[in-house]
Structure 1
Amino acid sequence: MRTPDRDRCRPAFAALCAALVITILGIPAAGALSAEYVVLPNGTAYQARIEIADASRYEFADVGFMGEKVPVQVGNVELTGNCSPCGFNWSRPWGAPSVITFAKGNYTVSYLAPLSGNTLQGQFTRPYSVNATIPPEFSVKNPLIAGISQGANVTHHADNTTSVRWDKTTAFNVRFYDQWHENMLWFFFQFMAILVLILVVVPYLLSMKRGE
């Protein structure tokens, strides 16, 4: 007796479904990648841990004022994943960002980089979940001297550290300050108040007195 076509198709269909499931599971979900940044206590450097998927290279670059790529001098670079150890090759073109290349796959890139102007920022080619940790010596509470890009969730911890988190973002920016900058802000306000008193209030009172 001849086996019906639909019966013969069932094993092939099941195999196709299994292959599709395996393929889907092997692809990271959109927005599932994460990036962790920890600002060091002196505020002059940060430690980064960035997940990358289906990649064979990583470029160490920051974002300039005009959106251009600016080379970042990094150190303590590590590549981790399903390998032990995960080897990579350096490429350091003159005037351009350094690049590491490796076998294509899913990894986490870790490195140490300098920080200036109390500003931490980053840009990605796909959505990332980003978490930045600010040490106790710094704060982001005062909006007059701090700045945080949109979509952030700020958490102040008991040890005075601050966590700033963005979900599914392609760019982030956080500007923090120390006690000296906050003191300078209040000194500026006091100075401006004295100027207003001398240049506006006192002349007005004197003119009122002369008018009497």
Structure 2
Amino acid sequence: MRSANRDRPDHRGTALRAVTAVLLIGILLIVPASANTATYYIAENGTSFSAEITLVNQSGYLLISPGVIGEGAELKVTNLTLTAENGTVVNTTKKSSTQIAFPEGNYTLVYDAPLDGYLMYAQYLSPFNTTVFLPAGFHTNNVLLGPVSNGGVTYNLKKDRVQLHNLGIIADGTQYETVVVWTDRQEIQMRFYPASYEKYFVICMGLWFILFCAVGYRYWRLKRKANQYF
């Protein structure tokens, strides 16, 4: 006696669902998800930067800089323009001293801002992919003089062109030498310095080493002299 149809295993349906799942996974792997991105171009003198921000399904953006005691302070920007996908310029409103607001959507935001003490800092409302272009004559390769926050990877535009190309980053102009990249970070920070700072740093460390040796030798002589009386 044959089993009723409803009691038979549905091999065809199971196979179809499996194939559909594989296809969906393949599509997700092939078509990358849109991401919020921020690109900063630091000026040749290191005292300002220009920003190009791609916003996806966003309704606000932070314009913030580190305060004197580490608190969030308002970033004074100029030439701020918010453009919708159709090319229309959209007005922004101040939600607070450090945040602008606008209707939720996809936009391109550009602005210029000053830099204080060779410190590049940004904070976002959600994770961003961030790229900072540093002009020739400035460096970040000394962890004491030019620390980079967690997740930041430093590239040389001439030596690492293949890696940068694979990341979709192409140098725009010849004045840039270094690129620092963060992926999916809600806060980034980097301090850069002129090349001349390294020479002063070496001299300063040398002087401190000489002073340390002199004090250590003096201490050793005094201790040795004191031990002669016992």
Deviation at residue 108 of structure 1 after TM alignment: 1.2
Query: Alignment partner of 2:150: what SS?
Result: coil
Name the Cα RMSD after superposition.
3.1
Quickly say closer, same or farther: Cα 1:42–1:206, change in 2 above 3 A. Answer: same
1:77 corresponds to which residue? 80
Which residues of structure 1 form unaligned runs of 5+? Answer: 1-28
1:197 aligns with 2:197: no
Deviation at residue 152 of structure 1 after TM alignment: 1.9
Which amino acid in structure 2 is aligned with residue 110 of structure 1?
V
Deviation at residue 98 of structure 1 after TM alignment: 6.2
Mapped partners of 1:127, 1:92: distance in 2:
20
1:44 aligns with 2:60: no
| Identity score, percent | 26
Which residues of structure 2 form unaligned runs of 5+? Answer: 1-31, 159-173
Cα pair 1:121 1:172 within 8 Å, conserved: yes
Mapped partners of 2:92, 2:180: distance in 1:
33
Quickly say closer, same or farther: Cα 1:106–1:92, change in 2 above 3 A. Answer: closer
1:119 corresponds to which residue? 119
1:60 aligns with 2:63: yes
1:146 corresponds to which residue? 146
Among 166, 177, 181, the alignment partner of 2:193 is 177
1:97 corresponds to which residue? 98
Cα pair 1:31 1:126 within 8 Å, conserved: no
Quickly say closer, same or farther: Cα 1:206–1:66, change in 2 above 3 A. Answer: closer
Which amino acid in structure 2 is aligned with residue 50 of structure 1?
I
The 5-angstrom pairing of residues 8-19 of structure 1 reads none
Mapped partners of 2:48, 2:216: distance in 1:
45
Cα pair 1:31 1:168 within 8 Å, conserved: no
Cα pair 1:31 1:129 within 8 Å, conserved: no
Q: Give the aligned length.
A: 181
Deviation at residue 125 of structure 1 after TM alignment: 2.1
Cα pair 1:30 1:127 within 8 Å, conserved: no
Query: Alignment partner of 2:138: what SS?
Result: coil
Quickly say closer, same or farther: Cα 1:136–1:80, change in 2 above 3 A. Answer: same
Mapped partners of 1:58, 1:167: distance in 2:
18
TM-score scaled to structure 2, two decimals? 0.66
Query: Alignment partner of 2:139: what SS?
Result: coil
Cα pair 2:56 2:105 within 8 Å, conserved: yes
1:131 corresponds to which residue? 131
Mapped partners of 2:212, 2:70: distance in 1:
40
2:36 corresponds to which residue? 33
Mapped partners of 1:97, 1:167: distance in 2:
23
For structure 1, which segment, 138-147 or 52-61, has the greater mean C-alpha deviation from structure 2 after superposition?
A: 52-61
Deviation at residue 199 of structure 1 after TM alignment: 2.2
Cα pair 1:35 1:49 within 8 Å, conserved: yes
Deviation at residue 148 of structure 1 after TM alignment: 0.9
Cα pair 2:84 2:90 within 8 Å, conserved: no
Cα pair 1:34 1:130 within 8 Å, conserved: yes
Cα pair 1:120 1:173 within 8 Å, conserved: yes
Quickly say closer, same or farther: Cα 1:34–1:89, change in 2 above 3 A. Answer: closer
2:162 corresponds to which residue? none
Deviation at residue 77 of structure 1 after TM alignment: 1.1
